[in-house]
Each structure stands twice: as C-alpha cells, then as structure tokens.
C-alpha cells in the first residue's frame, strides 16, 4: 500500500548528536487566569518511540502537550526538538486532537493536505505534496474517499483523515491528545491498531495523551503517569510486551494492576508517592 519499507534498521541517532526527538528539562507552566498548569517536568522521547501520557482529568496533560508542541511557552525550562530549542511548533511535528476538526469547506484530499504549502512548512513542489497526501490517505484506508466532504464521513473516518493530515507532514513526532476518546469502542480499537501500524511505517515517534489505561498498555513503548495538582510525572513504565498485545493477556493484566495501584495511590495521597509502593513507610 505504501512506498515506505515496512521494516527498517534504527535511524542513525548521531545525526543530531542525540537519540531524542524531543527533550524537555525543568518545564513548568501556570495559566495566568486560573494558576492551574503543571509542576516541574523533565522527559525525553526517543526516535520512533510511542510514549503515552496517562493521568486523571485536569492534571495538566493537555497543557503539557501544548507546551511540548510549542503552542505555549513554558514558565520555566526548555524544550528541545531534534536538539534545537523550540520557539514555535516545529515543522516536523504534527498534532491530532480529540475532535477531527476537519475544515468543512475542503474535501478529504484537501483536508489531508492542509497546511503543506504554508510559509513555515518545508518547501515541496505540488506534485510531491500530492504524492504525500495520497500515500497518507491510502495508509489510513481512505484512498477511495478523496473527493468526499467531511460532512459525509463517520466519526472514525473523520479521525482517520485527521491522522492522514498529520502523516502527510512526515512528522518526526506526532502529538495526539485523546485522539480516540470520542469514538465508539470498536472504532477506537481499530484506530489504536492503525496508529501503531502507521507510525511504525512513517518512522515517527508519538506522544499520546490518554486517560484510558488499556489504550496506553496496548500502544505504548513507555507509559508516563501524571498526577497531582499541579501535575507532575509520578511514575514511568517501559512496556516490553510484544505486539499485538491482546495475545499476551497475562503480562497485560499484570501491568494494568500495577498502573491501577499507582493511580490509586497518587489520587489518595495527592502528594508525590515514593517511586515504588513497597517503599512506602507504614504508619
């Protein structure tokens, strides 16, 4: 379906002097009006790594994602993208939101290609842009719907177009903020599998914000647990379970219980718990 090779050797990390696509140190943020935001956060996302940011409602996941994507400036700390300090959204990053937010006056093809010809995007001639959009739409299974209008699409199809719009930009890093939470369970499962498949083929890393533990376990290479107010990253798990993960029920269940207990602990104390539950001092 795609011109891209399905399997590849790891990219030469030395190109930028670092193996991280994104590198954030000492970040914090507070909204001027409410004072809400997040506390000190440091994290790195490796090339082609799928990182899930998991946490309860209101702990600042979306805010952190916007700061990491360069949409908001942090109060303190720095974000580096491919080694360079980030001042505005990087042309090699792309965003997918909870709502597909397609532009209703453009058809599917033009929606998927939206923004490729903007001034601050990498220059590419019209033919190359067209090829990229075709490839992205084919990858999400919508090649036959190029001429359709957004109003004619189902919610799942619209979100596929939004994913294609991100892929067409050939991102190094895809930011996704609860991209599947507005979909029904069956469509969501399809989309989770599709996401893992296409980002592998596109060699993209992903930062996926979710409050669905199962989603995180199904797709993530690494899970970050965010909790507290203002939120911080409390725990981190590296997920070594091979794909497809539904075939490894035991390992999945064990990890799930582990995450659940960490979540419970974080919400019970409201303060940073110690890194492992067994080290908790008894009262």
Partner 1 sequence: MPATLILPLLGLALAAALWAAATLLLANETPILANFAPAEAFRALSRLAIDPVMWEHIGVSLQRVAVGLAAALAIGVPAGVLTGVSRVFAQATTPLFQFLRMISPLSWMPIAVMVLGVGDAPVYFLLAFAAVWPILLNTAAGVAQLDRNWLMLARSLSATRAETLFRVVLPGIVAHILSGVRLAIGIIWIILVPAEMLGVSAGLGYFILDARDRLAYPELMAAILVIGALGFLLDYGARWLYQHWLHKG
Ligand X SMILES: Nc1ncnc2c1ncn2[C@@H]1O[C@H](COP(=O)(O)OP(=O)(O)OP(=O)(O)O)[C@@H](O)[C@H]1O
Check binding of 91 to partner 1 (CB under 8 A).
Answer: yes
Check binding of 99 to Mg ion (CB under 5 A).
Answer: no
61: region left, alpha or beta (phi > 0 left; psi from -120 to 50 alpha): alpha
Say which entry of ligand X, partner 1, Mg ion, none residue 94 contacts (CB below 5 to 8 A, set by partner kind): partner 1
- Terminal Cα distance for the chain, rounded: 60
Residue from 101, 131, 155, 189 touching partner 1 (CB under 8 A): that is 101
Q: By CB under 6 A, what part of segment 160-219 binds ligand X?
A: 211
Sign of CA dihedral 261, 215, 169, 89: negative
Check binding of 62 to Mg ion (CB under 5 A).
Answer: yes
Nearest approach, Cβ of 177 to ligand X (angstroms)? 7
Nearest approach, Cβ of 99 to partner 1 (angstroms)? 6
Contact of 227 with 70, CB cutoff 8 Å: no
Check binding of 118 to partner 1 (CB under 8 A).
Answer: yes
Residue 72 CA to residue 66 CA, distance in Å, equals 6
Nearest approach, Cβ of 63 to ligand X (angstroms)? 3
Q: By CB under 8 A, what part of segment 54-73 binds partner 1?
A: 69, 71
Closest of 209, 203, 170, 160 to residue 90, by C-alpha: 170
Nearest approach, Cβ of 24 to partner 1 (angstroms)? 17
Instruction: Select the span of 2-10, 56-64, 188-196, 267-275 touching ligand X (CB under 6 A).
Output: 56-64
Torsion of CA 194, 196, 199, 200, to 10 degrees: -120
Neighbours of 80 (CB within 10 A): 17
Helices marked H in the chain: 61-68, 108-112, 126-139, 155-167, 185-202, 213-219, 249-269
Count of positions on this chain that bind ligand X (CB under 6 A): 13
Q: By CB under 6 A, what part of segment 253-272 binds ligand X?
A: none
* Residues at the contact surface with partner 1, assessed by CB under 8 A: 69, 71, 88-89, 91, 93-95, 97, 99, 101, 103-105, 114-115, 118-121, 149-151
* Contacting positions for Mg ion (CB under 5 A): 62
């Amino acid at each position: 379906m795609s011109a891209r090779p399905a399997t590849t050797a790891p990219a030469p990390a030395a190109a930028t002097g670092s193996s991280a696509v994104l590198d954030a140190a000492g970040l914090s943020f507070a909204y001027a009006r409410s004072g809400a935001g997040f506390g000190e956060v440091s994290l790195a996302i490796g090339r082609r790594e799928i990182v899930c940011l998991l946490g309860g409602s209101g702990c600042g996941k979306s805010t952190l994602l916007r700061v990491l994507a360069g949409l908001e400036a942090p109060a303190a700390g720095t974000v580096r993208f491919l080694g360079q300090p980030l001042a505005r959204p990087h042309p090699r990053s792309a965003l997918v939101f909870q709502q597909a937010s397609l532009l209703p006056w453009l058809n599917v093809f033009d929606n998927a290609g939206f923004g490729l010809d903007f001034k601050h995007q990498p220059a590419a001639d019209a033919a190359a842009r067209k090829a990229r959009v075709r490839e992205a739409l084919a990858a999400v299974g919508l090649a036959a719907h190029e001429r359709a209008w957004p109003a004619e699409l189902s919610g799942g199809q619209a979100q596929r177009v939004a994913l294609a719009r991100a892929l067409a930009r050939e991102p190094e890093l895809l930011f996704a903020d609860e991209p599947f939470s507005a979909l029904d369970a069956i469509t969501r499962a399809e989309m989770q599998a599709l996401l893992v498949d296409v980002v592998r083929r596109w060699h993209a890393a992903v930062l996926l914000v979710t409050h669905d533990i199962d989603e995180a376990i199904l797709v993530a290479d690494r899970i970050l647990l965010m909790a507290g107010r203002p939120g911080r990253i409390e725990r981190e798990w590296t997920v070594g379970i091979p794909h497809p993960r539904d075939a490894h029920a035991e390992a999945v269940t064990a990890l799930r219980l582990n995450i659940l207990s960490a979540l419970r602990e974080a919400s019970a104390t409201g303060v940073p718990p110690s890194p492992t539950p067994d080290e908790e001092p008894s009262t």
